Structure 1
Amino acid sequence: MRHEQLEQGYHYQVMRRALDLIDAAEGTIPLDDLAAQMGMSPAHFQRLFSAWVGVSPKRYQQYLALGHAKALLAERFTTLETAHNAGLTGTGRLHDLFIRWEAMSPGDFARAGEGLTIRWDHIDSPFGEALVMGTDRGICGIAFTAETGQAAAMADMTARWPRASFVEAPGALSDWARAAFAQAGETRLHMLGAPFQIKVWEALLQVPSGHVTTYSEIAGAIGRPRAVRAVGTAVGRNPVSFLIPCHRAIRKSGGLGGYHWGLPVKRTILAWEAAREDAM
C-alpha cells in the first residue's frame, strides 16, 4: 500500500508539470508531444493517466482547462438548502457515507487546543505530499505541501491550535489517511473550529464530488445570506483539505476564487473529481 501511495503522489507531480504545459499552450497538446515533454513513452503516459483518473490525456486536458470551473458552475451547480439555522446538527454522517465527523465544543476551541494531543505525519496523496494531523477522535488537519513547502504548511497548521501538543507519529495516521483519499471505508473527522466556521464546513460537506457551489450559496444555506465575505474566510480557514471540500466553493462568475494551498492544487482536485465522476 505504501507503494500505491507513492505512485499516487508521483502521478500528481506529473500532472502538475503537465498542467503548466497545458496552460501555456494555445490548444490541446497531442499525446505524443505531451508524453515526450514528460519524458515518457506515449503508451506509459496513457497508462499513468488511466490509472490515476480513468480518462484519456486528451479528455483530461479539457477538465484542466482554465474555463472548467465555469462549466462546472453551469452543469454541476449544487443548491444547498437552508438546513443550519437551528445551529449545528451535531455528530452526523454525510451523504456519501464515508465520513463521520465530530465537532470540538466551543469551550474547547476557545482554549486553543490546550490539553489536546495532535499527532502528525507527512503522507503521499493523489495531489502530492500531504501533512496529515489527527487526534484520538479522527483527522483534524490535511494540508498540501506541493506549493507551500513543508515548513510553511506546518507553521500554518500548528498556529491554528497554539496550545495543543504536536507529536510526530510516523505511520500512525496511515490507515485513516489511506481510507480518506481512497474514499473507502469510514473516515473519522474531528473538526476543530469556531461554531460559525463549523457551520460553513458542514455545508461544504453536502456538496457532492464532481460538483461545485458558490460562497453566496453557502452563506444562504447557513442562514447568513449577507455574510459572504465571512463565509469566504471560513472556507479559507478549513483545516481538513479535500475531505471538507473547500475546493468545491467557487465564485458566482465561475472564477476559482482562492485556495489556501495553491490554485494549481485546487484546479487539479476539481479536474480529478469531475473526470472520475464521468468515468463511473
Structure 2
Amino acid sequence: MNANAEPAVLSSRRAGPLQDKLERARRLLDEGEPTLLELAVQVGLSASHLQRRFRARYGLSPAEYLAQRKLGALKGALREGRDVSAALYEAGYGSPSRVYEDGAARLGMTPARYRAGGAGERIRWSLVDTALGTALVATTERGICAIELGGDAAALEAKLRAEFPRATLERVDAGRDDYLAPRLRAVAEALAGKRAQVPVDLIGTAFQKKVWDALMRIPRGQTRSYAEIAREIGRPQATRAVARACAANRVAIVVPCHRVVRGDGSLGGYRWGLPLKQRVLESERAA
C-alpha cells in the first residue's frame, strides 16, 4: 500500500483514538526522523503495538515509511535537476554513502546516473528465443545491462524504456549487429543451462553491486540464503536489503538471483515468477 494513500475508515468505536495516534505518528515521520521508540513515546503506544498497527493501516512499517519518504524526496530533487550532493542532504541522507549503500534506496543506479535517466548512454537491444522463452537482451558498449524475460515483446520493451528513459535505445534485428549478435548467442546458451561467457554492465548502487557480485560466485546447482549473502558481503544485519537488491536485478539468470532462497529453504520472491525460479533451480541441480 502506498504511504500517501488515503487510509480506510475503521468501523470500531475504539478506532477513533487509535486512528488519531497512527495519523500523528505518520505526521511525525513526515516532519523528522524519530526512532520507533521515540515515536511510540510521543503517540502513547508501545513500540511493538505501534509497529504492528502502523503496518496494518499503511502497509509499511514506520522505518519503511520513512525510507520511502526520503527516497521520494531525493528522486523529486534529482528529476528537477538539483545538484546530487544537495539533493542527498536535503532529502535527509546523512552522507552520500547512505544512499549508495542502503538497499532501501533502490535507485537502480548511482544518483548521478539516475538523475541523467540514462542520458548519454546508447543501448542496443534485441529479442531472442531461448529455452526459457522470449528474452529481451540490452547492452551498452561495456556489456549487457538487462536481460528481461516474458512472452509479450511490447511489455519487455516498455520495461526497458522505463529503466532508461533518457538513453538512446536502438532495436537491432537478431544477428544483424557484429557486437550484439555474439552476446545474444551467449545469453541463449546461458539460459539453456550451458556454460557461456556473458560480459555484463551492472548499473546499480554500490550495495547492489556487492550483492550481485556475490550472486555470481554461487556455484551452479547450489543456493544461498539472504542471510548468508549478507554475511559474505560484510553486512550481516542487511538481510532485507540483500533481498531488495536481488529483486532489483535486471539481468535474469546470468546474475543468478534465482539461487538465493529464504533461511528455511523456501523460494522467496522472484522478479520473473516463482514457477520459473523453481524450474531453473531444478534444472541446475539435475545437471
| Pairwise same-fold verdict (TM > 0.5) | yes
Contact 1:122 1:130 in 2 (8 A): yes
**What is the DSSP-based 3-state SS (H/G/I as helix, E as strand, rest coil) of the residue aligned with 1:188?**
coil
Counterpart AA for 2:126: D
Contact 2:117 2:166 in 1 (8 A): yes
Match of 2:215 in 1: 204
Runs (4+) of structure 1 exceeding 6 A deviation are none
Measured after TM superposition, the shift of residue 105 of structure 1 is 7.4
Measured after TM superposition, the shift of residue 181 of structure 1 is 3.6
**What is the DSSP-based 3-state SS (H/G/I as helix, E as strand, rest coil) of the residue aligned with 1:131?**
strand
Counterpart AA for 1:176: R
From 234, 241, 244, the counterpart of 1:223: 234
Match of 2:137 in 1: 132
Q: Compared with structure 1, are the counterparts of its residues 210 and 141 closer, same or farther at alpha carbon in structure 2 (3 Å cutoff)?
A: same
Match of 1:10 in 2: none
**What is the DSSP-based 3-state SS (H/G/I as helix, E as strand, rest coil) of the residue aligned with 1:187?**
coil
From 122, 128, 137, the counterpart of 1:123: 128
CA distance in 2, matches of 1:253, 1:262: 19
Taking CA–CA contacts closer than 8 Å with sequence separation of 6 or more, which of the two structures ends up with the larger relative contact order? 1
Match of 1:28 in 2: none
From 181, 193, 213, the counterpart of 1:174: 181
CA distance in 1, matches of 2:116, 2:233: 25
Superposed CA deviations along residues 30-82 of structure 1, whole A, max 9, x for unmatched, are xxxxxxxxxxxxxxxxxxxxxxxxxxxxxxxxxxxxxxxxxxxxxxxxxxxxx
The within-5 A match list for 1:92-171 is 107-108=112-113, 111-146=116-151, 149-171=152-174
Counterpart AA for 1:215: Y
Q: Which runs of 5+ in 1 are unaligned?
A: 1-86, 89-103
Match of 2:249 in 1: 238
**What is the DSSP-based 3-state SS (H/G/I as helix, E as strand, rest coil) of the residue aligned with 1:255?**
coil
CA distance in 2, matches of 1:150, 1:265: 18
Contact 1:123 1:174 in 2 (8 A): no
Counterpart AA for 2:261: I
Measured after TM superposition, the shift of residue 161 of structure 1 is 2.4
Contact 1:145 1:153 in 2 (8 A): yes
Q: TM-score, normalised by structure 1?
A: 0.57
Indicate the larger mover: 252-261 or 160-169. Answer: 160-169
CA distance in 2, matches of 1:157, 1:224: 31
Measured after TM superposition, the shift of residue 110 of structure 1 is 5.1
Measured after TM superposition, the shift of residue 249 of structure 1 is 0.6
Counterpart AA for 1:255: S
Counterpart AA for 2:153: Q
Counterpart AA for 2:181: S
Task: Kindly report the root-mean-square deviation, in angstroms, between the aligned alpha carbons of the 2 structures.
Answer: 2.2
Question: Does residue 275 of structure 2 align to residue 264 of structure 1?
Answer: yes
Counterpart AA for 1:120: W
Measured after TM superposition, the shift of residue 174 of structure 1 is 3.2
Task: Judging by fraction of residues, say which structure has more strand.
Answer: 1
Q: TM-score, normalised by structure 2?
A: 0.56
CA distance in 1, matches of 2:216, 2:114: 20
Measured after TM superposition, the shift of residue 153 of structure 1 is 3.0
Q: Which runs of 5+ in 2 are unaligned?
A: 1-99, 102-108
Contact 2:123 2:139 in 1 (8 A): yes
Measured after TM superposition, the shift of residue 106 of structure 1 is 7.0
Match of 2:40 in 1: none
Measured after TM superposition, the shift of residue 186 of structure 1 is 2.9
Greater Cα radius of gyration, structure 1 or 2: 2
Superposed CA deviations along residues 162-213 of structure 1, whole A, max 9, x for unmatched, are 2212111112333212223424553211111111111110010110111110
